Structure 1
Amino acid sequence: MDIHAAAVMTDDADTYLRTLYRRHGSALLRLAARLLGGDWHRAQDIVQEVAIRAWQYPMDVGPMDGTVRHRLFTVVSDLVTDGHQDQVEPSVETAGEAEMVLLVTPDAVDQALTAQVVWDAMADLAPPQREVLLHLHYLDRSISQAARALGVPPGTVKSRTYYATRALRTALRARGVTDC
Structure 2
Amino acid sequence: MKTTRSPVRGWLRRPSGDRPDDESVVAALYREYHRPLMGFVIRLTGGDRQLAEDVVQETMVRAWRSADRLDTEAGSLMPWLATVARRIVIDERRRRDARPPEAGEGHLESVPMPDRMDDLLRQVVVTDALKSLSEAHRQVLNETILRDRSAADAAEVLGIPVGTVKSRVYYALRALRVALEERGVTA
Bin for the TM-score computed over the shorter chain: 0.3 to 0.5
Q: Which has the larger radius of gyration?
A: 2
